Structure 1
Amino acid sequence: MTHDFNPLTPETFDSPNAEYAELRAKCPVAHSDAWGGFWALMKHDDVASAAADWQTYITSKQNVIPKVAFTGRRPPLHLDPPEHTPYRRAIAPLLTERKVAKLEPVMRQICRDLLANMVARGGGDVVADFSAHMPIAVFAHWMNLPPDAVAELTRVGQRYNIAVQSADMDATKESSLVLYDMARGIVADRKASSLPVEDDVTSALLAVRVDGEPLPEEMIVGTIRQVLVVGIIAPSVMIGSIAVHLGRDRELQARLRGDTSLIAAAVDEFLRLYTPYRGFARTAVCDVTVRGRTIPAGEPIALVYASANRDEDVFEAADEFRLDRPNMKDSVAFGRGPHMCVGAALAKLELEVALAELLACAPGFALAGEPKQTRFPEIGALSVPVSFERAEGVGA
C-alpha cells in the first residue's frame, strides 16, 4: 500500500495546512500507514459527499482516527441512522439557539473571571489558562452539574485531552473510564430526582421511548460520556487558534475590538480557516473509487474537514482571512449529514463570547512565544502564550 503522508511527523502550528495544500494538489485521496493504515479525503467536495452519504460511509465501525474508543459505544456519534436518531432527537431541543442563548450571561462571567486572572499577571497561556476551562464550565451549567462535579470534570477532561493529544493510549483509557463513572453518576442522580426534560439532557434521554421501551441505560451513559468530552476539546483548540491569528494580525485585532458587530462574521471565518477537526472517520461498506483511487470496503477513512475548508476550488484565497466571503454556507466546519454537529449553536455562542471578552479584557495582546500544535484527530493550538498590554495610566 502506498504511504502518501505521515501524520506522526512533528508539526508546527502552520505545517499541517501547508502539507494538506500539497496533498490537495497532488494526492487528494491519500493513504497513510500510521495507526494500522487509513485513508484521508482532502478535497471539499469529497469530504462533504462522504459525510452526507451515511448509507455508504458508516460511522458505527470507527468514528475517529486514531481509534480512541475502547470503552463502549457512545451515541449518537458511534451509531448510524436510524439507530442514532432517538438519541440525537432527545439532545437537539436543548441545543437550539433560543435555549443556548440563556447561557450567555454565564459564559460571559466565566470568561471575565478567567481572563481577569491572566490580565492581572500580564499574560499567560490562552489555552491552559482560559479556553481549556471555559467550555467545561459552560457545559457543566448546561448539564446542571453541581460545583464539585465541575471541578472533577475540569481535572479529568484536561487529562483526557492531553492523553489523546499525546497518543498515550493507557492514559486515554484510564481517563475515559473515569468519565464513564461520572456519566453513570449523573444518570443515577437524574433517575432519583429527575429534572424537567426541557431543561436537562439526561432527563430527556431517560424519558425517550422507542416502541414503548426506554433506551438502554448503558447507551444513555455512553451518550452522556460523549457529551462530556465532545464539547470540551474543540472549543478549547479553536479559541487558541483564534488567539494565534489575532496575535499575528494586530490590525485585525484592533478592527474587531473597535467594531464588535463584526465578531459573529469573524467567528464564521475563523471556523472555516481553523476548523479543529481532521480525524473524524467513516468506513465504506463497499469498495469506493474517489478521484481514481479505490478504497477497499472496511478500511477507515479520515474526513479532513480542516483541509476541505481551505480548498482553493471552493474558497477564493482560501488561506486568507476574509470577513466578507460570499459562500460561507459551503463551510464544513460543523460537518454534513446526519452527524452534523448538534451543538453548533452552543459552540458558536461560546466562540463569539470568548472572542469578545478576549478583545475587551485589555487594549491589546501579543504572542509571547511559539504556539504548540495539537495532534490527530484535532488540529489547532494546544498552547498559546500571550502577553497583555496594560490600559494607559495603569501601573505594573
Structure 2
Amino acid sequence: MRPLDNRPQPRNTDRFSKAHDFDASVDDFDAVHALFADLRGRCPVAHSNDLGGFWLFTRYEDVEHAISTPSEYTTTVQNVVPRVATTGRRPPLHLDPPEHTPYRRSLTPLFRRERMEFWEGSIREMAEELFQPLLARGEFDACRDFGYPLPAKVLAEFFGISAEDAETIRRIGNDFTIALEKMDMEMIQKSSLVLYEAAARLIEDRKATPRDPGSDPVSAMLAMRHEGKPLPDDGILGTVRQLLVVGIIAPTTFIGSMAIHFERHPEHLALLRKEPDKIPAAVDELLRLYTPYRGFARTPVDEVTVCGRTIRQDEPIALAFTAANRDPAVFREPDEFRLDRQSEPPHLAFGRGPHMCAGRGIALVMITATLELFVRHIERFDITGPIPMTTWPEYGPLSVPLAITPVK
C-alpha cells in the first residue's frame, strides 16, 4: 500500500510506534493550536496513550488523503476519538461506500437549490428573533444564549417537529454532550438510548402520515429504494438518531470561537462593516482558523507507514481538521486572518470525500446569518467570564460570556 509520505522512511520499532508523543488533555483555546503546531513540526504523525490510545494526523496532506480514500482508511471501525458508540450503527457516518451511498442519496434532495433558498430566509428570521433580545440586554453568552438555541430551532424546522419536541431533543443532546465531556459512559449510553426512542417515534409518525420526501428527511429515507428494496429499518433508525444531534454541537462551539476572535480583533468587525461584501470570505477564513473538529477518526484497512510511523490495521487515527487547516505547507501565515486565500487549497472544515458534511449548506447559512448580525449590530465584544472548552472530538468553547457595545 502506498504510504502518504514517500520520502525515505526511518526504521520503526514497536517501542517507538507506541510512544506517548503528546497530552490529549490540552484544551485551552490557544494551547490546542500551539500543540498542533509543535506536532506538525516535530512529529506530524503522533501517538497518545490518552483516551484509550490513538494516532493523530496533523498535516493537511495526510488528513485529506485519509478522508478521501475509504479503501485505505475506513470509518466502519471507529469514527471518532474517543470511541463512544455504545449502541447500533448510525449510517451514513458509520458506513463506507457503497453501503453508505443510499442513505446519502436519500438526503441529497433536501439540500437542492430551491430548498436552500427556503433556508436562507427561514434561518435569518430565526437568528434575528433570537438575537434582538440579547442585543437589547447588552450582555449574553455567545454559546448558551445564541449558538445553542439557533441550531435547535433549525433542527425543529428540518425535521418538521414542534418547538417543544425540539427543546426536549436539545436537552437530551445537551445531556449527551456533557456526558461526553466527562466520559461518563453510563450517561452516554442512557442519553443515546433516549435519542433512539425519539428517532423511533418520529419514524412511526412518518410511516403513519408521510410527508414530502423533498423536504422531510424521515419521509425521504422511507421512500428511498436501493436495488428495488427499501432501506432497512435499523439503518433508517440509526440515521435519524445521528441527525438529531449532529448539527448542534459544532455550530455552538464555532459561534463561540467567532465571538472570541472578534473580541480580540474589533478591527475585523469594523472592516466587515465597511465592506460587507467580504463577509462570505470572512466566514470561510474563520472556519479555517477555528475548525470545530479534531477527533473524527479512521482506521487503516491494512498496516500503513506514514512519516516513518507504522500504524497497524484497525488502530484508531484522529484526523485533526483543526490542525490541518493551519498547516503552513498549505496556507500562508496560517494563524492569521486573511481574506485573500482564493488561490490556496480549500479548507477541510466540512471534511472531504464521501463523508463530506451533507448539511454544509445549512451550516453556512447559520454561520453567515450570525456573522451578519454581529457586524451590523456590535461595535465591540468584551469577555466577562471563564471560557470552558469542549474535549475530544470537538474543538471550541462551550460558553463565552460577553458584554457588548452596540453600533451607534
Scaled by the length of structure 1, what TM-score is found? Answer: 0.95
Pairs within 5 Å for 1:210-249: 210-249=226-265
Provide the secondary structure at the position in 2 that maps to 1:381. Answer: coil
Instruction: Tell me which amino acid in the other structure corresponds to 1:87.
Output: Y
Rounded to whole Å, the distance in 2 between the matches of 1:297 and 1:71 is 23
Alignment of 1:68 with 2:84, yes or no, is yes
The answer to whether the Cα contact below 8 Å between 1:116 and 1:361 also exists between their aligned partners in 2 is no
In structure 1, the residue matched to 2:23 is 6
In structure 2, the residue matched to 1:162 is 178
For residue 157 of structure 1, report the CA deviation from its aligned partner: 2.0
For residue 96 of structure 1, report the CA deviation from its aligned partner: 3.3
CA RMSD across the alignment: 1.4
Q: State the Cα deviation string for residues 60-83 of structure 1 (Å, max 9, x = none).
A: 110000111111100000001100
After superposition, the Cα gap between the structure-2 partners of 1:60 and 1:149, relative to the gap in structure 1 and judged at 3 Å, is: same
Provide the secondary structure at the position in 1 that maps to 2:140. Answer: strand
For residue 165 of structure 1, report the CA deviation from its aligned partner: 2.6
After superposition, the Cα gap between the structure-2 partners of 1:157 and 1:235, relative to the gap in structure 1 and judged at 3 Å, is: same
For residue 117 of structure 1, report the CA deviation from its aligned partner: 2.6
The answer to whether the Cα contact below 8 Å between 2:153 and 2:163 also exists between their aligned partners in 1 is no
In structure 2, the residue matched to 1:325 is 341
Pairs within 5 Å for 1:44-63: 44-63=60-79
Rounded to whole Å, the distance in 1 between the matches of 2:134 and 2:362 is 25
In structure 2, the residue matched to 1:282 is 298
Provide the secondary structure at the position in 2 that maps to 1:40. Answer: strand
Rounded to whole Å, the distance in 1 between the matches of 2:406 and 2:285 is 29
Pairs within 5 Å for 1:41-120: 41-120=57-136
User: Which ranges of 4 or more aligned residues in structure 1 deviate by more than 4 Å?
Assistant: none
In structure 1, the residue matched to 2:12 is none
The answer to whether the Cα contact below 8 Å between 1:96 and 1:345 also exists between their aligned partners in 2 is no
Pairs within 5 Å for 1:300-319: 300-319=316-335
Instruction: Tell me which amino acid in the other structure corresponds to 1:276.
Output: P
Rounded to whole Å, the distance in 2 between the matches of 1:120 and 1:386 is 13
Unaligned runs of 5+ in 2: 1-17
The answer to whether the Cα contact below 8 Å between 1:306 and 1:379 also exists between their aligned partners in 2 is yes
Instruction: Tell me which amino acid in the other structure corresponds to 1:95.
Output: F
After superposition, the Cα gap between the structure-2 partners of 1:156 and 1:26, relative to the gap in structure 1 and judged at 3 Å, is: same
In structure 2, the residue matched to 1:371 is 387
Q: State the Cα deviation string for residues 43-94 of structure 1 (Å, max 9, x = none).
A: 0000001111100100011000011111110000000110000000011111
For residue 298 of structure 1, report the CA deviation from its aligned partner: 1.2
Unaligned runs of 5+ in 1: none
Instruction: Tell me which amino acid in the other structure corresponds to 1:163.
Output: A
Q: Percent identity?
A: 46
When structure 1 is superposed on structure 2, of 145-154 and 225-234 the one drifting more is: 145-154
Provide the secondary structure at the position in 1 that maps to 2:104. Answer: helix
For residue 390 of structure 1, report the CA deviation from its aligned partner: 4.2
For residue 328 of structure 1, report the CA deviation from its aligned partner: 4.8
Rounded to whole Å, the distance in 1 between the matches of 2:55 and 2:379 is 45
